[in-house]
Amino acid sequence: GLELSHCAGTNSLGPAGPWRSGGPCKMKRVRTVFKPEQLERLEQEFLKQQYMVGTERVDLAATLHLTETQVKVWFQNRRIKWRKQSMEQKAAKLSQFGVIQPASADSTDSKEHEEDTVDVEL
């Protein structure tokens, strides 16, 4: 689950949620730690389909005792990881055959994948 980080000068009367604010501290979300069983199920679902939407996401979140947003963000981050691994495998294959990739081939079009770069929970 989510826990709030506390720092000096922050009182406990602040807004409830995964964010902390106030005083000299910057807003920071504490990272969600998934249980091994949750990760196993999320990975199984990702192998079936890379995009989980609507009632499927709601049902999975309820089954795993997570919020819908946690499931959504996990899938977004998992797609990014999958793309990165695919690029690395492709680069490794090309380097085996002595083909040198231009430097720009490593970067993806940020506008194309903009929705997948979110690592924030609301």
Query: What's the domain range around 63?
Result: 36-67
In a domain, 92, yes or no: no
In a domain, 54, yes or no: yes
SS3 68: helix
In a domain, 98, yes or no: no
In a domain, 103, yes or no: no
Q: Summarize pLDDT for 38-73 with one digit per residue, the tens.
A: 999 999 999 999 999 899 999 999 999 999 999 999
In a domain, 85, yes or no: no
Q: Please report the sign of the dihedral spanned by the C-alpha atoms of residue 24, residue 3, residue 13, residue 20.
A: positive
Whole-structure pTM value: 0.59
Predicted pLDDT at 13: 52
Q: Quick check: 12 and 104 in contact, CB under 8 A?
A: no
Q: Summarize pLDDT for 63-121 with one digit per residue, the tens.
A: 999 999 999 999 999 999 999 999 999 999 888 887 665 555 444 444 444 444 555 54
In a domain, 50, yes or no: yes
Task: Enumerate helices (H) and strands (E) in the chain, giving the number of each.
Answer: 3, 0
Q: Quick check: 30 and 19 in contact, CB under 8 A?
A: no
CA angle (17, 12, 72) in 5-degree steps: 10
Higher pLDDT, 107 or 25: 25
Distances (CA, A) of 44 to 26, 52, 55, 108: 36, 12, 17, 26
In a domain, 44, yes or no: yes
Structural domains of the chain, count: 1
Res. 22: pLDDT tops 70 = no
Cα 13 to chain center, whole Å?
29
Distances (CA, A) of 42 to 32, 92, 120: 14, 28, 18
